[in-house]
A and B are shown apart, each in its own frame.
Chain A
């Protein structure tokens, strides 16, 4: 009985709200970054935690603005948190023009990353969403590829 009390006490003492999302937190960034190839230099993380799409509402999307430099070879990688089955889709836009994606709608194929050799310096938009508007958690990693 005393053991149960001690376990209970320790659980309460060390409980932190963020533990509820153990997979969907900073460790996801670490895991995703560790998957970068040797020729990639980490630049930025893009975290997305989205609720499911409600009927009649727009598809939930996490939006980021990034400044990319011309001539640089970038890689956009995406990693899902294990506890959410819906796969994340990362899309790169130059203004309204889609210039890169981790998902091909035609073949319904998901890719863990795509490379982008930036043709012009400027502000680009990154959108992260989850297939069929499901609830999800993912992290996108922007890295620079050595030539």
Chain B
């Protein structure tokens, strides 16, 4: 593990909207091919964490380095997957066109997609199991399928780091499986993954590391070490119940 290059370095970093600090004392390292789960209650700052890695929220103290650069300068190699239900389902755009947006950075201004771009789009759709839906309107797909389309858009960008904001919320089992498969294959190719989720089982299943968040960091490290009842209770402020000593149920998220 240690010979792998670090892709994300958090050095006692605090991020803030204006004067209001949202997240404080972030500290940890993620390497190539590793996935880290961001876990914490609603309003804990998980989305802000992801926006900070995109350079959309400023670091006011400490340091964040993405792929060895300040976040805003790493965007070319970072892909962001928003929550599907934040996008307008009536928007007249096809599945194929949404995935093509992942190629815009490579295509550049004033140019049109090339045959290679089209091939990458088709390949990305294949990898999330939606090759047959390319020409359908984005809004006609189910929530889970739309989430897979947005992951395909990220795959088409060929990122070295993938940021996913609550991709498993309200997603059916088939889509969840497809999302996990696709994330796994990106990891296998050396990409780092940062994924915010409420689902501790998914964190266990798909992620090597966990970052517990609620305004500040309650733990960062290997999943087995960090996902302990004590730490979860601290993160969720008492809204976590213990079950049989080694499992935890989060009663309020």
Q: Do A and B come from one complex?
A: no
